[in-house]
Amino acid sequence: MKPALQSWESRELASFFHTFSDLPSLAEAGPTVIERGEGAYVFDNAGRRYLEGNSGLWNMTLGFSEPRLAEVARRQYDSLPGYHTFFGRNSKPAIALAERVLSLAPVPMSRAFFTNSGSEANESVVKLLWMIWAAEGQPQRRKLISRRNAYHGATVMAASLTGKDYVRAFGLPLPEVVMAGCPHAWRFARPGESDDAFAARLATELADLIEAEDPSTIAGFFAEPIMGAGGVLLPPETYFAHVQPVLRRYGIPMIGDEVICGFGRTGKLWGAQCVGQSPDIIVASKSISAGYFPMGAVMLSREMDERASAASRAWEEFPHGFTAGGHPVGCAISLEAIRIIVDEGVLAHVGEIAPGFQRRLSDLASHALVGEARGIGLMGALDLVADKDSKQSFSGALRIGERVAASARARGLIIRPLGSSIVLAPPFILTDGEVEHLFSTLSDVLDDIAAQPDVKAGMSR
Ligand code: PMP
C-alpha cells in the first residue's frame, strides 16, 4: 500500500461522511486531524499547535486539559458509570445538577431535566409545549415562532426553528414554524432608524405576524439572547423590552436558548442578563459541561412546570426522555464545570479579559475587509465586506471566509467562517497574552487576504 493511503487524512477522507464541512476546502486542503489538547490549544497529528479561537464548537470553555473534570468523571465511572431518569429513577449527580442550575437561573425557575444536546433540549421543549396546549384544550396551538438567522439545532424540529437557508436542503422548515425578523440593526435597520425604533418596529411586525397567523395557533417563541451561529448578532438594547409585552399579550411562552450564551460566554452567567430577556423556559448546553460530556438542560418556570405537570397527568407521565439524558457522569462533570466557572473564578476571569478582547476586536473594524466588528464577553464576529459603505458582501466565488480561516489555520489559529462573518469564541481560560496573540495573528491574516489580487479586485475601494 502507498504510504499516502495510510495517513489519517486519507483514511478520514475515504471513511468519514462529513457533517457541516466545506467540501471544496476539504478536497483541496484535506481534513485536520486533532490529536490532543492543552489549555486553549489543540495539536494536530503532525504536532502542529493551534490556538482554538472557537473553543471547538463554542463548548470547550475550560480548555482542553482541565484535570478536575477528568477526575470527577473517573470517580463517577468508578461508582455509577451510567444510569437513566425514567420510571422515577435517578442518580445523585442529576439531582444535584438540577438544584445547581436552578439556583443559578437568571429568572426564577422551578424544575429541570437533561438531554444530550442543545437540539434535543429544544426538541423536548416543543413536545412539552404541544402537550401543555393540547391538555389545556387548545390543541390547535402548534405553531412556533423563531427568527431569521437563528440557530436552534439539527434535529428535524430544531433545524426547522433554524432560520438558515440550508434547512431547505431537507424540505424544512416544518409547516408549524413561522419566522420573525432578525434583530441585527447593522444589517436590517432602515437608514436613519435608531436602534430603539428598529426594536419597536420588530415588535410591531411580530404582533402583525401573530395576528396574521392567528394568535390562538401559536405555541411558543424561541430566541437566543444573542444569536451565535447567526454570526454573533446582538439585539438592540431595548429589543426584548419591546418584544416581551407582545408575547405576554397573546399568552405566548418565551423560550430562551442559552446553548451558547449560558454559563459565562457573554461575561455574565447568562445571555438573558445582558439583553433583559425574561424566559419562561431556558435551554442550555455546551458550557454546562465545558464540552467534556454531551449535555443539554431544560429549565421550567413555576408556571410552565405546573402546566406541564398538569398536562402529563392525563398520560400518567411525561412520555418523553432520552436513554442517556441525565447521565450521572455527564451530570458530575457539569457540576464540576459549573463549580470551576462560578466558584473558582473563571467567570470573573472572563469579566477581566473580555474588555481587552472586545477592544482588540473593535480595533479591526477599521480594516479594509471589515464591515462590522461586534461582540460581547468572549464572543465576537467580523463581518467581511467588499464595500464598507454599501455593506456589500464579497462574491461567494471568492470564498472569503474560508480563505481567512485557512490562512489563520496555517498560522496556528483556528477560527470559523460563518456566512460573510468570521466568528471568535475562545476558551474562558485565555490569558491576556493569548488574546494579544489571537488578534495579532488575525490582523496579519486579514492583511494577507486583502492583498490577494482577486480579493483586491473584488473590493470597491
Ligand atoms: N441552540 C443554539 C443556540 C446553538 O448554538 C446550538 C448549537 N451550536 C444548538 C441549539 C444545538 O446544539 P447541539 O449541536 O448540541 O444539538
Per-residue pLDDT reduced to its tens digit, 76-106:
999 999 999 999 999 999 999 999 999 999 9
pLDDT of residue 5: 58
**Residue-level length of the chain:** 461
367: CA distance to ligand 1 center in Å? 31
- CA proximity to 106, closest of 320, 280, 239: 280
pLDDT of residue 211: 98
pLDDT of residue 461: 54
Write the single-letter amino acid at 450.
A
pLDDT of residue 459: 87
Q: What percentage of residues in the chain have a pLDDT greater than 90?
A: 95
pTM: 0.97
> Which atom from ligand 1 is nearest to the alpha carbon of 224?
3
> Which atom from ligand 1 is nearest to the alpha carbon of 294?
15
Indicate the DSSP class of residue 45: T
> 160: Cβ below 6 Å to ligand 1?
no
How far apart CA 18 and CA 1 sit, in angstroms, is 25
Residue 319: is the preceding peptide bond cis (ω within 30°)? Answer: no
4 band by pLDDT with thresholds 50, 70 and 90: low
Residue 64 has pLDDT above 70, yes or no: yes
> 189: Cβ below 6 Å to ligand 1?
no
432: CA distance to ligand 1 center in Å? 28
286: CA distance to ligand 1 center in Å? 8
122: CA distance to ligand 1 center in Å? 9
Q: Which CA distances in Å does 333 have to 296, 347, 391?
A: 13, 17, 44
Structural domains of the chain ordered from first start: 32-65+346-458 (3.90.1150.10), 70-343 (3.40.640.10)
228: CA distance to ligand 1 center in Å? 9
Residue 1 has pLDDT above 50, yes or no: no
> 59: Cβ below 6 Å to ligand 1?
no
